[in-house]
Chains A and B, each alone.
Chain A
């Protein structure tokens, strides 16, 4: 099946640790995105990438890092510098940044313990 796969679905992290969230797509999409969603809130853009080896900061990039070494993969690292990392993280992709439909993964719920 084509689509976007996020893993793991649930993730627990101790304070002060970095953690990496995986996002893989087999849709041959150029653009990929990471969003953060807090309870009862909308989606806020963390980082996005229009093409391999290129990415841009979104509205809340502080405390996060990404890489785009392969077209199908866009991992997000939540660093210890992120003061309030507990949230639901969503990865998305589209054919190109100005294209129409965007596809989402099922999300990773990160909890800091």
Chain B
């Protein structure tokens, strides 16, 4: 049973452009987290947004949360080649539940 569903499944953009990924979830949450995974590696925590927050920034990352629509978005501004990775949203109760991820490819 997967809680989060990312959209799109794959995204290719030119270096320097902004990348936007979306996540929808099913049940009420306390917080939502975004993670990045480079190919064949573990996941790295990027940012967490609490249910009472609507927007949060961290460097080139901007996350929004709309609890009425049960959705979140991750915006990466001024993309770089190093941003090529898979991005997952995750929600948690007693366990962390991940979506299937968005595979982001930054074209040179």
Contact = CB atoms under 8 A, between A and B. Distances in A.
Contact of A42 (B33, B93, B101): B101
Interface residues of B, number: 26
Contacts of A102: 33, 43, 45, 90, 92, 96
A109 to B, nearest CB: 7
B14 interface: no
B44 A104 contact: yes
Given A41-B100, A42-B100, A98 B92 contact: yes
Contacts, number: 67
Interface string B23-64: 000000011010100001111110010000000000000000
A45 B42 contact: no
Given A90-B42, A97-B93, 15 more contacts: A35-B98, A42-B101, A45-B97, A48-B94, A56-B94, A56-B95, A58-B95, A88-B40, A90-B43, A92-B43, A97-B92, A98-B92, A100-B31, A102-B45, A106-B42
Interface of A: 4, 6, 33, 35, 40-45, 48, 50, 56, 58-59, 88, 90, 92, 94, 97-98, 100-107, 109
